[in-house]
Amino acid sequence: MEYIDSHVHLADPAFDADRDAVVDRALQAGATALVCIGESLDAAARSAELAARFPGVCFHTAGVHPHDAATFDAARDVEAIRREVARGAVAIGECGLDYHYDHSPRDRQRSAFGAQLALARELARPVVVHTREAEDDTRAMVEDAGRDGVVGVLHCYTGSLALAEAAIAVGWYVSFSGIITFKRWTDDTLLRAIPDDRLLVESDAPYLAPVPHRGKRNESAWVGLTVARLAVARSVAPETIGRVTASNARRLFRLA
């Protein structure tokens, strides 16, 4: 089954011991591309090295995660992200709002997110957005950015149907992770509500391994389990979900 892992933290130290084998297993499983997320400027630089090492397979992004928004320095970090885009980053992020953990003050989260949305608009690049328990503010900021022509993805989505629909209405995408394979997942209405042309899948590895690997280090080779769960919810063949989501990822991130 062909698919694209639209969100993997492959530069994470969790993969230091066997990163090449992890990429190899993903390719064996049917992955045709891995979008390696730079959730910090450090991770972005390491992800850029992966993109250079696995051309046409690994692509990288650059941004500052809402957890680290407290130390976001607009002048310094916007320039650093701009440099990563100049050397091939396909998207800005992950960035966004996380009011569940509140690791950074909410006003700092909003300003870091806003600065990255503005940069996405200026550079005409897509945005990878993390949102958790921050529905109203996410909706307002995504709708504003979307009306300004910014496109992006709500990654590892577990939010409301209303927020997903608001994002879709301004041209955005929604990505599902292994969370939808967990026993406590009950929101198949959400899984069915995303239009075919806005659906993405991801591992979010090393986190959130799908059932039956739950609790282990996750990896891109297991995205097929999430694809299969989506296929059940949407009553289509897994191969169809794999193909459609891969084509969406190529369009959103403009992958070569």
The residues that touch Zn ion, with contacts defined as CB under 5 A, are 130
Shortest separation between residue 155's beta carbon and Zn ion, angstroms:
6
Q: Which residue has 């919810």 as its token pair?
A: 233
Q: Which residue is nearest to Zn ion (CB)?
A: 130
Nearest to Zn ion of 150, 179 (CB atom): 179
CB 193 within 8 A of CB 23: no
- State which residue, 5 or 77, has the beta carbon closest to Zn ion: 5
Give me the least distance between CB of 17 and Zn ion, in Å please.
Answer: 21
Taking the complex as a whole, the smallest distance from the CB of residue 100 to Zn ion amounts, in Å, to 11
Consecutive H or E run containing 135: helix 135-147
Contact 4, 33 (CB under 8 A): yes
Tokens describing residue 196 = 């075919």
Query: Minimum Å distance from CB 206 to Zn ion?
Result: 10
- Nearer CB in complex with Zn ion: 155/198: 155
Least distance (Å) between residue 208 CB and Zn ion: 9
Helix pair 74-86, 41-53: axis angle to 10 deg:
10
Q: Closer to Zn ion by CB, 199 or 231: give it.
A: 199
Nearest to Zn ion of 115, 231 (CB atom): 115
DSSP H helix total and E strand total for the chain: 9, 8
Q: Give the span between the Cα atoms of 231 and 242, in whole angstroms.
A: 9
Lookup result for tokens 């992800």: 47
